Amino acid sequence: MIGSLGQVGFVLVSTSSEAIVSHTPFDEIKQVGLKLYEVNRDAIQTHFS
């Protein structure tokens, strides 16, 4: 099992209305996710081989 590789962003949800109040921009989420993939590429590929 590979487990969590790290945090890529956040989502803030209102407890009263259940609406999204704020979130990490999608471009930033993608950049951080790609960086995490690059750092952990060998472990990820081994796990799915």
Provide the β-strand partners of residue 20.
Answer: 13
Phi-psi category of 44—alpha, beta or left, where left has phi over 0 and alpha has psi -120 to 50? alpha
Q: pTM for this structure?
A: 0.74
Residue 14 located in a structural domain: no
Residue 11 located in a structural domain: no
pLDDT tens, residue by residue, 1-34: 788 899 999 999 999 999 999 999 999 999 999 9
Residue 40 located in a structural domain: yes
Give the total number of structural domains in the chain. Answer: 1
Q: Is the pLDDT of residue 48 over 90?
A: no
Residue 5 located in a structural domain: no
Are 23 and 34 in contact, with CB atoms under 8 Å apart? no
